[in-house]
């Protein structure tokens, strides 16, 4: 959505994927991008493909060293934060409390990164922000509140959530979460 690409988004029941998706992607996983004869799955692969296919504006650094660093940051975010988020969503509520606390503390530990630049580890909006934004959007739904000291995270989140591309990327269900999102100072 950041690039203004015309897309047809289809939301499916992941427990009962439609036959046409299974015919094109034997895994039947989401997200799946179908672009002519190309079928891609995994959000990171899809994001990088779209950034290369539609190069303006670039969302990945142009030089190889910065691009490699961005990829490592996204990998670490997947390993450190999204793995906890996935566990929280799969774990019964009482057992998930410890996981929520771990995710909250890990985010708080990253405050210096959120505070150092306009975006996550960069002065320019990038694919890294496309990875971090959805996680921050989901925190209230997971029952994770950020403390007063996390103002740099809230400010960063506000910048992301206000972007037209972010708003356009939300599903109807995700738009309903808007009332839960509080990005004001604690």
pLDDT higher at 23 or 104: 104
Catalogue the E-assigned strands of the chain: 32-35, 38-41
The whole-number average pLDDT for the span 102-129 is 95
pLDDT value at 173 more than 90: no
Domain assignment of residue 175, yes or no: yes
CATH number of the domain where residue 16 is located: 3.40.30.10
Rounded CA separation 116/55 (Å): 27
Instruction: For residue 79, give the DSSP letter.
Output: I
Q: Are residues 107 and 133 in the same domain?
A: yes
143 in a domain, yes or no? yes
Question: pTM for the whole thing?
Answer: 0.85
pLDDT grade for 136, boundaries at 50, 70 and 90: very high
> 120 and 49 share a domain?
no
What is the DSSP-derived secondary structure letter of residue 92?
-
What is the average pLDDT value for the chain, to the nearest integer? Answer: 87
Which among 44-53, 102-111, 177-186 has the top mean pLDDT?
A: 102-111
Mean per-residue pLDDT for 139-144?
91
Asked if 96 contacts 141 with a C-beta cutoff of 8 angstroms, the reply is no
pLDDT for res 10: 78
């Amino acid at each position: 959505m950041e690039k203004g690409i015309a897309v047809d988004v289809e939301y499916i029941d992941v427990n009962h994927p439609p036959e046409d998706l299974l015919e094109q992607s034997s895994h039947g996983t989401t997200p799946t991008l179908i672009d002519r004869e190309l079928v891609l799955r995994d959000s990171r692969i899809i994001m990088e493909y779209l950034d290369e296919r539609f190069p303006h504006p670039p969302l990945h650094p142009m030089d190889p060293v910065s691009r490699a660093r961005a990829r490592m940051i996204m990998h670490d975010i997947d390993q450190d934060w999204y793995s906890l988020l996935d566990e929280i969503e799969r774990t019964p509520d009482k057992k998930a409390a410890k996981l929520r606390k771990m995710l909250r503390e890990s985010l708080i530990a990253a405050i210096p990164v959120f505070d150092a630049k306009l975006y996550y580890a960069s002065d320019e909006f990038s694919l890294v922000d496309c990875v971090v934004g959805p996680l921050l959007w989901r925190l209230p739904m997971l029952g994770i509140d950020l403390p007063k000291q996390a103002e740099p995270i809230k400010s960063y989140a506000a910048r992301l959530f206000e972007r037209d591309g972010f708003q356009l990327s939300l599903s109807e269900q995700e738009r309903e979460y808007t009332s839960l999102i509080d990005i004001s100072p604690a």
